[in-house]
């Protein structure tokens, strides 16, 4: 059982060069239960990455705390896998070595590492690319590798920060199906950040809508669409209805950002 | 010709070679054509003759060997100390804050100015030559390696942390491999500078080496020998550079992929 609790977590970036301090995140509460797939939706600059980085332990909250199964998060660790928006594969390692990075750090023997890595390579559809360098891969393939690399540690929760944000629409749709397929099969706990409304609905069991600066949770919407979901679901009335509702929510937020800018 | 248009590798070799031909042609025209006095500049033919004489009868190969050993020895000594220190400085900011001001200061001390002092301390033996090269290279390498390691992509470091890497793991499995190609380039660059220090070290108080031969030839006004010596230095430099480059390309295939 995995429970992630975000309790009154806020983040203010200190003032620099005479600028006022940036209040990136208002005190926020969120609980994510076992095998939840939660998507966080919000316009850019609303503190989504800040929140995710705090959960990952890469940043410290100004107030409040994050606990995973009752233990407070004080730094990054292998129990929380992270996939970044930018391409962060290690360029000097092959696909297989990248995926096995965390296992190697934990002292898993080479044979065992390769077995786990190769199984994941098949799962994310990269068979035949085991020995390629990241430079030789397309953006979509790099993110597949990054997802496999995070999964290799068998983390309690998978954190994804707009992992498909830089991909073209077709690739992005394929990646969404792949990720959802993995979740439907292996029942992982997932926290997924995006600014794409369709993506948030298609993937999530719950969509958390965040408001613009300073970021805070504005609405929470359950997505009761059945699983397994295929891309066809995106044209059903239920999906379109949810989408309309979220478009309204996001629009008001985006307008606020535009007024302040 | 258009900006940034590439050339084929054959063309590249041909153009590079053409410049040497042009250079020798100009030199021949100036000397053999009688435009420059023989006392000041030997012609290419005399130079080749003198060079043959040096190699065949005056044991110049031994001098070349001595010079190479001094460069490589002094440089290796500097690298063994400078690379780990630079990595530590780049990785740990307190170490950097502690050492950086001094290293930056020491970097500007001209190695050649230390020669009289080093002769006083270490005599005119091999140790003194090695020390000149060491002093000339060590601070440069420390600083450049520190900057390279310090500039490691933060997102890669963060990714490694989220994968469960320890602080030691970050150094060994992120900072080092990501900086390794740059460090190899730094060593290649500084090895080039080390060649200039060794010659200066050999010009003063030495009984062997290419620099020593050049001072001897100057006393005899033998410009052919001087030029031959200089060209040998250039050729060895070029060769070591090519070897270093090929070695780096072999060592870091992921960069070229
Ligand atoms: N390291 C930082 N220093 C100062 N301000 C920051 C820093 N990181 C983010 N911010 C600010 O915090 C706000 C939220 O950023 P972020 O969490 O990246 O938003 P999002 O991921 O939703 O686009 C932005 O206004 C951003 O400029
Ligand atoms: Mg972001």
Q: Is A48 in the pocket of ligand 1 (CB under 6 A)?
A: yes
The token pair at A50 is: 């800040």
The whole-chain average pLDDT of chain A stands at 92
Sign of the four-CA dihedral B69, B70, B76, B79: negative
Helix (H, G, I), strand (E, B) or coil at A163: coil
Report pLDDT digits (tens) over B115-132: 888 888 888 888 999 999
Residue B43 lies in a domain: no
Q: Which of A76, A113, A159 is the best residue to mutate to test the B interface, defined by the most B CB atoms within 10 Å of its own CB?
A: A76
Report pLDDT digits (tens) over A135-146: 999 999 999 999
Pairwise CB contact (< 8 Å): B252 & A92? yes
Identify whether the C-beta of residue A189 lies closer than 8 Å to the C-beta of residue A157.
yes
Measured between alpha carbons, how far is residue A146 from residues A55, A81, A121, A139, B183 in Å?
18, 10, 11, 10, 27
Could you give the ipTM of this predicted complex?
0.93
Which pLDDT does position A11 carry in this prediction? 94
CA of A50 to the centre of ligand 1 (A): 6
Q: What is the CATH number of the domain that holds B134?
A: 1.10.3720.10
Q: Are strands A157-161 and A189-194 parallel, antiparallel or unpaired?
A: parallel
The token pair at A164 is: 């498909």
Q: Is A8 on the interface with B (CB under 8 A)?
A: no
Q: Domain range for residue B128?
A: 62-248
Residue B92 lies in a domain: yes
Over residues B170-180, mean pLDDT:
96
Task: For each of the domains in chain A, give its residue range(s) and CATH number, in order of start.
Answer: 4-260 (3.40.50.300)
Q: Ligand 1 atom closest to Cα of A51? A: 17
Q: Is A76 on the interface with B (CB under 8 A)?
A: yes
The number of folded domains in chain B is 1
Helix (H, G, I), strand (E, B) or coil at A217: strand
Q: Which among B117, B118, B121, B182 is positioned nearest to B151, based on CA atoms?
A: B182
Q: What residues have CB less than 8 Å from B108, skipping those under 6 apart?
A: none
Over residues A37-57, mean pLDDT:
93
Q: Which of A75, A77, A92 is the best residue to mutate to test the B interface, defined by the most B CB atoms within 10 Å of its own CB?
A: A92
The token pair at B16 is: 């590079």
Pairwise CB contact (< 8 Å): B159 & A58? no
Is A18 a residue whose pLDDT tops 70? yes
Q: Nearest residue on chain B to A59, judged by CA atoms?
A: B158
The token pair at A234 is: 């995106």
Percent of chain B with pLDDT over 70: 100
Is B143 a residue whose pLDDT tops 70? yes
């Amino acid at each position: 059982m995995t429970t992630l609790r975000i309790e009154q977590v806020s983040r203010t970036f200190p003032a620099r060069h005479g600028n006022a301090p940036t209040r990136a995140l208002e005190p926020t509460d969120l609980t994510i239960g076992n095998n939840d797939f939660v998507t966080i939706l919000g316009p850019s600059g609303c503190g989504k990455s800040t929140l995710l980085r705090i959960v990952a332990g890469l940043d410290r909250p100004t107030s409040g705390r994050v606990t995973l199964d009752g233990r407070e998060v004080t730094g990054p660790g292998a129990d929380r896998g992270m996939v970044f928006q930018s391409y962060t594969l290690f360029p000097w390692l092959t696909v297989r070595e990248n995926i096995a990075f965390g296992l190697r750090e934990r002292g898993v023997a080479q044979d065992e590492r390769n077995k786990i890595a190769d199984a994941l390579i098949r799962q994310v559809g990269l068979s035949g690319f085991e020995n390629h360098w990241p430079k030789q891969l397309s953006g979509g393939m790099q993110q597949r590798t990054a997802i496999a690399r995070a999964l290799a540690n068998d983390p309690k929760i998978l954190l994804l920060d707009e992992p498909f944000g830089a991909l073209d629409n077709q690739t992005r749709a394929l990646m969404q199906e792949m990720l959802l397929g993995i979740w439907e099969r292996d029942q992982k706990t997932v926290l997924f950040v995006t600014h794409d409304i369709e993506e948030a609905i298609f993937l999530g069991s719950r969509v958390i809508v965040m408001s613009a600066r300073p970021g805070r949770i504005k609405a929470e919407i359950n997505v009761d669409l059945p699983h397994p979901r295929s891309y066809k679901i995106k044209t059903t009335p239920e999906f379109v209805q949810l989408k309309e509702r979220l478009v309204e929510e996001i629009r008001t937020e985006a307008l606020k950002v535009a007024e302040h800018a | 010709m258009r900006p940034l248009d590439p050339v084929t590798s054959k063309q590249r070799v041909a153009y590079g070679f053409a410049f040497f031909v042009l250079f020798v042609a100009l030199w021949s025209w100036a000397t053999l054509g009688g435009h420059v006095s023989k006392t000041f500049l030997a012609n290419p033919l005399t130079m080749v003759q003198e060079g043959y004489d040096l190699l065949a009868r005056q044991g110049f190969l031994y001098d070349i060997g001595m010079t190479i050993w001094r460069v490589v020895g002094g440089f290796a000594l500097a690298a063994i100390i400078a690379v780990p220190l630079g990595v530590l400085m780049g990785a740990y900011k307190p170490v950097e804050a502690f050492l950086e001001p001094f290293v930056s200061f020491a970097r500007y001390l001209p190695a050649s100015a230390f020669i009289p002092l080093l002769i006083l301390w270490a005599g005119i033996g091999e140790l003194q030559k090695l020390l000149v090269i060491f002093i000339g290279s060590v601070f440069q390498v420390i600083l450049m390696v520190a900057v390279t390691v310090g500039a490691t992509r933060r997102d890669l470091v963060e990714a490694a942390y989220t994968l469960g890497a320890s602080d030691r793991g970050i150094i060994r499995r992120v900072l080092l491999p990501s900086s390794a190609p740059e460090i190899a380039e730094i060593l290649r660059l500084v090895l080039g500078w080390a060649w200039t220090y060794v010659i200066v070290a050999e010009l003063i108080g030495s009984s062997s080496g290419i620099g020593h031969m050049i001072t001897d030839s100057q006393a005899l006004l033998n410009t052919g020998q001087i030029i031959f010596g200089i060209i040998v230095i250039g050729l060895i430099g070029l060769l070591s550079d090519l070897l270093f480059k090929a070695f780096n390309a072999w060592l870091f295939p992921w960069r070229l992929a």
